[in-house]
Amino acid sequence: MKLLSQGFSKGAEGYVKLLPEEAEDMWHTFNLVREGDHITATTFRKVQVDKGTGADTERLKLKLTLEVEGIEFDAEGGVIRIKGRNLTESEHIKLGAYHSAELELGRAFTLQKSLWDALDIDRVRQATDVALSADLAAVLITEGLANVCLVGGSTTLVRARVEANLPRKRGAAALGYDKAWSRFLEHVFTAVVRHVDFSVVKCLVIAGPGFAKDQFKEFLEAEAVRREVRPLIENKDKILLAAASSAYKHSLKEVLSCPGIASRIKDTKAAREVNALQDFYDLLATDSTRAFYGPGHVFAAAELGAIQVLLLSDSLFRINHIEKRRKYAELVEGVREAGGEALIFSAMHVSGEQLNQLSGIAAILRFPLPELEDMEIPADV
């Protein structure tokens, strides 16, 4: 999703102008738009035009602002249908008249809200920041050239390019080669530390032709220990080697097609959700005083600061009850501020469907709460 312009802040009214570029962007849009919002988009309308020889019907392209009263998502077609009242003065459509518009890939729209909450802002950030959606980082390296890349769902960004003129390995220039090679590796190491965030990136692949990739992996691990770079040390098992024909960006296709790499990065966000849900089920079977589901028990555990991992379905946020939505937003913020993890499950994934069967909300606790297990708490938020 491309962010074209914005003007909003938490707890206040504002707008954002977005351009959907891939299928997943339409899912983000569906989760952003709610009844009462204002959507400005290009739409088409059949109108009667008198050309002197009789009335003809023409299909006109119009730019309208609608107050949303209904929203439908066609996942297969990647189209969102908006229904609502027209707020734009036009000779073709009366003010207040009902109209419909379609949001689709490649067509920009502006979304105006009377109140932006933390969930909306987080959704915009996730949808528009490629770095936040990047599940894979790759260092494509050969002698004298390295590219540090972040790979998202369908977007690849080259975050750093490191080049160096290396002397020949033989003859009088051999001593100079070793120094230049070490300097080159240091620059690549610095680029990795700066651009690879292991709280987002689930896998770092070092790839390229020859032995340069092996030497850099050894250098990376040794330097991480020497400089005490904790993220690299703690995520050592996420750093993999792969073969590639060059250090240029196009060689990522070879890296991504490697069976070992593909299995590690396949749908990693969904994999985290699956693992968290399985952990919840395991606890529910072995230590039920640390696993709760349903709004009543989960909100009660949150008040005690007991939640380690919060599991929430995004279907809970697609509601028009302002007070309920505000409480869910505050719950997510509270868990994160207390050092816990809040996972927003997609209802489009199998794990999200499973979570919805448990009321759409569950929690893994830091410590047992046997007294909470015996309490009967109303399910309403």
Going by pLDDT thresholds of 50, 70 and 90, the confidence category of residue 154 is: very low
Going by pLDDT thresholds of 50, 70 and 90, the confidence category of residue 200 is: confident
- Contact between 10 and 116 under an 8 Å Cβ cutoff? The reply is yes
Q: How many other CB atoms sit within 10 Å of the CB of residue 371?
A: 8
Q: Are residues 308 and 242 in the same domain?
A: no
Residue 378 lies in a domain: no
Please tell me the predicted confidence (pLDDT) of residue 56. 72
Q: Are residues 121 and 32 in the same domain?
A: yes
Query: What mean pLDDT comes out for the span 173-199?
Result: 90
- Looking up residue 338, the CATH number of its domain turns out to be 3.30.1330.30
Query: What mean pLDDT comes out for the span 331-344?
Result: 93
Taking alpha carbons only, the member of 15, 38, 34, 35 closest to residue 88 is 38
Q: Which of 204, 238, 264 is where one domain is finished?
A: 264
**Distance from C-alpha of 378 to C-alpha of 372, rounded to nearest angstrom:** 13
Q: Are residues 295 and 191 in the same domain?
A: no
pTM passes above 0.75 = no
In the chain, the number of structural domains is 3
Please tell me the predicted confidence (pLDDT) of residue 191. 97
Q: Are residues 14 and 95 in the same domain?
A: yes
Q: Are residues 125 and 17 in the same domain?
A: yes
Query: What mean pLDDT comes out for the span 199-226?
Result: 93
Query: What mean pLDDT comes out for the span 313-328?
Result: 84
Q: Are residues 6 and 128 in the same domain?
A: yes
Q: Are residues 12 and 126 in the same domain?
A: yes
Taking alpha carbons only, the member of 278, 275, 342, 268 closest to residue 311 is 342
Q: Angle at Cα 143 formed by Cα 240 and Cα 162, nearest 5°?
A: 80
- Looking up residue 73, the CATH number of its domain turns out to be 2.30.30.870
* Domain membership of residue 215 as a residue range: 136-264
Distances 76 to 30, 72, 79, 327 between C-alpha atoms, Å: 14, 12, 8, 32
Q: What is the pLDDT of residues 134-146, one digit of tens each?
A: 678 999 999 999 9
Q: Which of 90, 110, 132 is where one domain is finished?
A: 132
Q: Are residues 241 and 286 in the same domain?
A: no
- Contact between 360 and 346 under an 8 Å Cβ cutoff? The reply is no
Residue 28 lies in a domain: yes
Q: In terms of pLDDT, which residue wins out, 124 or 260?
A: 124
Residue 218 lies in a domain: yes
| Percentage of residues of the chain with pLDDT beyond 70 | 89
Residue 381 lies in a domain: no
Residue 379 lies in a domain: no
pLDDT at residue 247 greater than cutoff 70: yes
**Distance from C-alpha of 95 to C-alpha of 46, rounded to nearest angstrom:** 17
Q: What is the pLDDT of residues 39-67, one digit of tens each?
A: 999 987 777 766 666 667 777 888 999 99
List the structure tokens of 207. Answer: 């790839």
Q: How many other CB atoms sit within 10 Å of the CB of residue 46?
A: 10
Residue 355: phi and psi, rounded to 5, are: -65, -35
pLDDT at residue 349 greater than cutoff 80: no
Residue 358 lies in a domain: yes
Residue 173 lies in a domain: yes
Q: What is the pLDDT of residues 53-108, one digit of tens each?
A: 666 777 788 899 999 999 999 877 789 999 999 999 888 788 999 989 999 999 99
Q: Are residues 256 and 284 in the same domain?
A: no
Please tell me the predicted confidence (pLDDT) of residue 381. 63
Q: Which of 132, 157, 179 is where one domain is finished?
A: 132
Q: Are residues 188 and 289 in the same domain?
A: no
The pLDDT mean for the chain works out to 87
Q: Are residues 213 and 101 in the same domain?
A: no
